[in-house]
Structure 1
Amino acid sequence: MSKYRKRFILKMLSFISLVLIALGFLLGQSFKDFYINNEKEKLVDETSLVESILRERTVPDMAAYVDKMYAESNFDMILFNGRGEIIAGTPIDVTKLNVRAINFSAIPNDGTFESKVDETSLQYTKPVLTADGGEVYISFIRYTKDLNMIYSRIWTVIILSLLTSFCIIFFAVYSSTKRFLRPIAEATEVLHELSHGNYKSRVYELTAPDESRDLGKSINLLARNLENASSGEAMQRARLESLIEYMGAGLMLIDEKGYVLLVNRTYREMFNIYGQSNGQLYYRVLPNEKMSQVIEDVYLTEKPNRKQSSVRFGLNSRTFMVSAAPIFGKNGRVQGTTVVFNDITEIKKLEQMRKDFVANVSHELKTPLTSIKGFAETLLDGAQDVPEIREQFLNIIHDESERMQTLVEDLLELSRLEQDNYQLETTIVDVTSLLHETATLLQRKATEKQMTIHLETEEEVFIRADLNRLKQVVVNLVANALNYTPNGGNVWISLEDGEEAVMLRIKDDGIGIHPKEMQRIFERFYRVDKARSRNSGGTGLGLAIVKHIIDLHHGTIDVESEENQGTTFTIRLPKKG
């Protein structure tokens, strides 16, 4: 039984008990008054009957009759004279009669009741005419103690009736509350569960068309709406947490006192943080003082702030853009700060590459343009009249023009390869034949430098590739090997056939590459030996083009080198392209 139901039943029973007790006293008093009035009527009737019988008799006859009637009557009868003396009859408890208090002269002809303070008896007195014209007084008495048994029975009946009524009312109230208050108790319990977040709790819906059923339906509808809202909120919270946790930038939330409320996974991975960050002061979590200064400025100025900051990780350094913004409450005061960390290291590298590209293109174009302009001015100043000088200068102008043309063509070629929609023209290529053609093509250059090209291939190796592009790769790598190898050196070209891929190696015993320069050899305009490269007519774009072509074929290119020992380029290409 619920507490609400217990309290309701207790209050109802207390109220009903009070009503029944008051009703019992009222009924008891009513029954008592009714019985006394009934006894009075009997006294009056008996007294009037006897008075009519005794009227106008002699006193002795009256006395004899009274004595006779007294023996047979249920009442005590007393016959008085005018002086209050008892003529006949004997009361049961004569000591309680106060004869002197009776004013016989004031008794009316209809008779009267004598008032008793202690209410121990009922006495009715009536005057009777005698034969000689005088008056005597006849009194009928009924003692209340004779009525106690009757009163006890009446009270017993009343009490039993009240107890029976109480039990009936109790069971009626119990059943009614079980029927009407159970939905309220269940509703209270369900609402309690809902207030604690248990949105799956439901009320049993009654079938009877009354307010209880409507209450159950309303609460269940509320519970379903809360469950749906909670599910939606939980989903939104999960999405937001996932977004915050896995967003591409590091995130930190700081409260108004400077304590860290949240850092996301990206931030922890950015700065290699494995311990607990929440609950600490922000300057103890940040990697350097410059980042802390960004947040301090936000608290001081209450305006967004952003700065770049570099953090060293071992031998490497990374650059971050730190952006901080204040969080304002409803009162307009700063409630905290949001800090976003973006790793702009690659952007800085791309920016530097762009600057280097512009500088290199400007330099590569400026050198031949300067030569062309200088020799052209010399010819215009009169050197054209000397045939030997004129021919020499025109040859130089021609060579520098070709160099500029080659540079522009390589730039255009590299731009085409870098386009997202660029498509290779693939076909079945015999790599062995391609290598023999390349060796034949570059044999003249090798002979000029007294170098030997060693070719080690299998009979036939076929792959799906772009023939022209693949030939461009081999020619570039073999030409570089010839250019960066001293006279009398060697170049080895080998081909190995595999089940799913082929492996091509181009090796030389030239000047090699310094370890610090190994990571940059595929950058645009980067030269290991700038003087040797320019003298050979190279633009510095050959290896960048090679790398893009290999990537388009879904292959890989690796380089191994030691200074003054030579360099080996290893290319792996899938057979299916």
Structure 2
Amino acid sequence: MKQLRVRILGFLTLTLVVFSILFIYMATAIIERQALTQQGTDLSVQLRTLESQLDSNDLTETDLDMISAQLESTALVIEERITLIGTDGEIWYDTHAPIDTLENHGDRPEIQQAIEGEAIGDFSRTSESTGDTLYYVATPLINADGSVIGFLRLSKRIEDMSGVTDQLVQALLIFIVIAVLVALIYTQYWTRKITRPLNNIKTIADVLSYQDYNVRYYSSSYKEVDELGQSINNLAVNLNSQMNEITENELKLKELINHLVIGVLVVEKDKTISMINPAMTNVLGEDLFGKVDRPFYEGLHSSDLIAMIEKAMQTQTIQNREIQMIYPKEKIVDVNVVPVISDSLETINYIVLVYDITEIRRLEKVRSDFVANVSHELRTPITAVKGFSETLLDGALKDEAVLVEFLEIIYKESSRLDAMVNDILHLSKLEQRQVSDVREKVKVKAVAEEVIQILHQKIDAKQITVQLTDRDQAELTIDPGHLKQIFINLLANAVSYTPQNGEVSVLIEKIDTEVVLTIKDTGIGIPQDQLNRIFERFYRVDRARSRNMGGTGLGLSIVKWIVENNNGRIEVESTEHKGSIFRVILPISN
């Protein structure tokens, strides 16, 4: 803005100087011309006055000496040069130069004009006798006969005639200088009053460009400039509002992306990673935040995923596919690569969406296996019931021994079928939350004693010793039915797989904010390679023996579901032919 003020002042100064010079030149010419005209007129009037005072009516050309004598007295009171010239051009009298030094003036323009009949002849030139630039006026002297007896001439220095002009020009020059100074001072004040607010507005605009929207312009100049400043203020307010909205939307979007269960990766046109969310690192099993601003093929280890991104870049189309990842952990993921295209049909970047469907595929397999297992498990008792029933209908009813044996088998298989259906229905209700979820404070030992009483026939039949220990009089806030199911399934398994005269112990203890239920038996044990599968539905370590013992293969699945949905966990330790230990850890309060 300082340069603008200097330019305005420079331009104004130059304009004023140029126009002042032109004005002075034109005014000087006009005034000087007007002054010369006026002085010439005055000099002509003075000549006529002087001529009228001379008594030339009765004179002849030889009496010019008498006129010269009259002129000497007049020369004493006027400053103009008086010259008396004869008709032959000879000088008879001159107030400023000796006549013997003057040449013949008959050829002078003013004399020639008078000879030619002009009342007054006038001309300006440099005098040869004095060297001054003079203005001449001449008139003929006419006697009573009408004869020209000579010429009377007055002359005056041009410098004397233009003296007033010089004074006017000087006064005008002083006035112009003062006017220019006043104009420059006012212009300086005016430009400063404009440029300072403009400079302030420029500073505010620069600050706004750095996204600081708290600056404001305060009125300090002319209305038009202040209106511009107010517009800048309105712009700052609007930008601040828009930036707050953008920031809020970005925060919402960031939180949304960061809390998505789907992995999100943004790849720019130059193949660099510009954004990644935590879910992507979880899905891929490696920290990719350190790979931002680096090429995506350096951060990703799946060749299939890299190939999908490359194909999307080449074809500019959405790519979707399930791929299996090996490193760092085997997973199945659903991948979508979406090109983001602007209104101008130019690709901005590429969004890579990765969803871990490993568990979904596992559950699908579990469901498939469940249907197959249910079909297989139901086929055996149904086939047995159907087969023995047909045998009885074909004539075995008459043999009482065979009838009783077959009916006992049919009853046993139907009982196992009933237990299996009940377990399936119970597990289904648990998973669909169709069972009561009323929680209350329960004494753990009382529930364990109730279950032991329910199983006492099996326990007594195998003469198994059951030892129950409650060290801390533990209590749990839980659905009593859930706790009862845990004890029934674990104790029933312990009794079923423990040989004659074996031992089963139940230990109840409180550790910090948890209650630990430990059920230990001296049974047949579980092989180490099958420990991670015993909680699968219908999975049996020894299928033949399990069926003979009436097991449905769903008990441990029910226990695991109940424990996990009560924020607990279940652990198992086992050694073949030595027994197993099941440990259930539940929080005291849910």
Considering the TM-score relative to the shorter chain, is it more than 0.5? yes
- Quick check: 471-480 or 444-453, which moved more? 444-453
State whether structure 2 residue 193 is matched by structure 1 residue 155.
Answer: no
- Give the 5 Å matches for 1:405-484: 405-420=418-433, 422-458=435-471, 460-484=473-497
Q: Distance in 2 between matches of 1:115 and 1:341?
A: 110
Tell me the secondary structure at the aligned position of residue 151 of structure 2: strand
Residue of structure 2 aligned with 1:99, choices 105, 120, 124: 105
Q: Deviation of residue 366 (structure 1)? A: 1.1
- Give the 5 Å matches for 1:155-304: 155-179=169-193, 183-184=197-198, 186-187=200-201, 189-191=203-205, 193-194=207-208, 197-205=211-219, 210-255=223-268, 258-271=271-284, 272-274=286-288, 276-278=290-292, 280-299=294-313, 301-304=315-318
What residue number does 2:52 align with?
Answer: 52
What residue number does 1:559 align with?
Answer: 572
State whether structure 2 residue 506 is matched by structure 1 residue 493.
Answer: yes
Alpha-carbon spacing, 1:44–1:442, altered in 2? closer, same or farther (3 Å): same
Q: Is the 8 A contact 2:91 2:102 kept in 1?
A: no
Q: Deviation of residue 168 (structure 1)? A: 1.4
Alpha-carbon spacing, 1:540–1:175, altered in 2? closer, same or farther (3 Å): same
Amino acid at match of 1:30: I
Alpha-carbon spacing, 1:349–1:445, altered in 2? closer, same or farther (3 Å): same
What residue number does 1:538 align with?
Answer: 551
Q: Deviation of residue 123 (structure 1)? A: 1.0
Amino acid at match of 1:102: R
State whether structure 2 residue 18 is matched by structure 1 residue 29.
Answer: no
Residue of structure 1 aligned with 2:320, choices 299, 306, 314: 306
- Quick check: 514-523 or 20-29, which moved more? 514-523
Residue of structure 1 aligned with 2:119, choices 110, 123, 144: 110
Q: Deviation of residue 8 (structure 1)? A: 3.0
Amino acid at match of 1:173: T
Amino acid at match of 2:309: I
Q: Deviation of residue 434 (structure 1)? A: 3.4
Q: Is the 8 A contact 1:263 1:277 kept in 2?
A: no
Q: Distance in 2 between matches of 1:245 and 1:428?
A: 39
Tell me the secondary structure at the aligned position of residue 127 of structure 1: strand
Alpha-carbon spacing, 1:331–1:39, altered in 2? closer, same or farther (3 Å): closer
Task: Tell me the alpha carbon deviations over residues 275-300 of structure 1, each in whole angstroms, 9 at most, x when there is no partner.
Answer: 65455544443322222333344455
Q: Distance in 2 between matches of 1:292 and 1:409?
A: 50
Alpha-carbon spacing, 1:526–1:464, altered in 2? closer, same or farther (3 Å): same
Q: Is the 8 A contact 1:328 1:336 kept in 2?
A: yes
What residue number does 1:402 align with?
Answer: 415
Task: Tell me the alpha carbon deviations over residues 399-426 of structure 1, each in whole angstroms, 9 at most, x when there is no partner.
Answer: 1111111111111222222234643344
Q: Distance in 2 between matches of 1:463 and 1:197?
A: 58
Q: Is the 8 A contact 2:475 2:588 kept in 1?
A: yes
Q: Deviation of residue 320 (structure 1)? A: 1.0
State whether structure 2 residue 81 is matched by structure 1 residue 76.
Answer: yes
Q: Deviation of residue 122 (structure 1)? A: 0.8
Q: Deviation of residue 87 (structure 1)? A: 0.7
Tell me the secondary structure at the aligned position of residue 424 of structure 1: coil
Q: Distance in 1 between matches of 2:221 and 2:310?
A: 66
Amino acid at match of 1:359: A
Q: Distance in 2 between matches of 1:243 and 1:6?
A: 56
Alpha-carbon spacing, 1:5–1:503, altered in 2? closer, same or farther (3 Å): same
Structure 1: where are the runs of 5+ without partners? none
State whether structure 2 residue 150 is matched by structure 1 residue 136.
Answer: yes
State whether structure 2 residue 367 is matched by structure 1 residue 358.
Answer: no
Alpha-carbon spacing, 1:225–1:120, altered in 2? closer, same or farther (3 Å): same
Q: Distance in 2 between matches of 1:487 and 1:110?
A: 174
State whether structure 2 residue 140 is matched by structure 1 residue 127.
Answer: yes
Q: Deviation of residue 497 (structure 1)? A: 4.5
Tell me the secondary structure at the aligned position of residue 330 of structure 2: strand
Amino acid at match of 1:432: K
Q: Distance in 2 between matches of 1:6 and 1:482?
A: 106
Give % identity.
29
State whether structure 2 residue 526 is matched by structure 1 residue 513.
Answer: yes
Q: Is the 8 A contact 2:90 2:106 kept in 1?
A: no
Q: Deviation of residue 540 (structure 1)? A: 1.4
- Quick check: 471-480 or 198-207, which moved more? 198-207
Amino acid at match of 1:10: G
Tell me the secondary structure at the aligned position of residue 232 of structure 2: helix
Residue of structure 1 aligned with 2:67, choices 28, 49, 62: 62
- Quick check: 507-516 or 418-427, which moved more? 418-427
Task: Tell me the alpha carbon deviations over residues 516-538 of structure 1, each in whole angstroms, 9 at most, x when there is no partner.
Answer: 43333333222233333222111
Amino acid at match of 1:28: T
Q: Distance in 2 between matches of 1:222 and 1:97?
A: 91
Task: Tell me the alpha carbon deviations over residues 223-265 of structure 1, each in whole angstroms, 9 at most, x when there is no partner.
Answer: 3223222322233233334434443222233455655454444
Tell me the secondary structure at the aligned position of residue 256 of structure 2: helix
- Quick check: 553-562 or 146-155, which moved more? 146-155
Q: Is the 8 A contact 2:2 2:195 kept in 1?
A: no
What residue number does 1:318 align with?
Answer: 331
Q: Deviation of residue 141 (structure 1)? A: 1.3
Q: Deviation of residue 341 (structure 1)? A: 0.9
Amino acid at match of 1:49: T
Q: Is the 8 A contact 2:123 2:137 kept in 1?
A: yes
Q: Distance in 1 between matches of 2:254 and 2:452?
A: 61
- Quick check: 383-392 or 402-411, which moved more? 383-392
Q: Is the 8 A contact 2:301 2:327 kept in 1?
A: no
- Give the 5 Å matches for 1:367-406: 367-406=380-419
Q: Distance in 2 between matches of 1:260 and 1:397?
A: 68
Q: Distance in 2 between matches of 1:260 and 1:521?
A: 44
Amino acid at match of 2:406: F
Q: Is the 8 A contact 1:520 1:526 kept in 2?
A: yes
Q: Distance in 2 between matches of 1:563 and 1:96?
A: 164
Q: Is the 8 A contact 2:126 2:134 kept in 1?
A: no
Q: Distance in 2 between matches of 1:500 and 1:199?
A: 53
Alpha-carbon spacing, 1:563–1:157, altered in 2? closer, same or farther (3 Å): farther
Alpha-carbon spacing, 1:405–1:418, altered in 2? closer, same or farther (3 Å): same
Tell me the secondary structure at the aligned position of residue 99 of structure 1: coil
Q: Distance in 2 between matches of 1:193 and 1:433?
A: 76
What residue number does 1:88 align with?
Answer: 93
Q: Deviation of residue 371 (structure 1)? A: 1.2
Amino acid at match of 2:323: S
Alpha-carbon spacing, 1:198–1:33, altered in 2? closer, same or farther (3 Å): farther
What residue number does 1:16 align with?
Answer: 16
Amino acid at match of 1:174: Q
- Structure-1-length-normalised TM-score: 0.88
Q: Distance in 1 between matches of 2:113 and 2:66?
A: 25
Q: Is the 8 A contact 2:302 2:327 kept in 1?
A: no
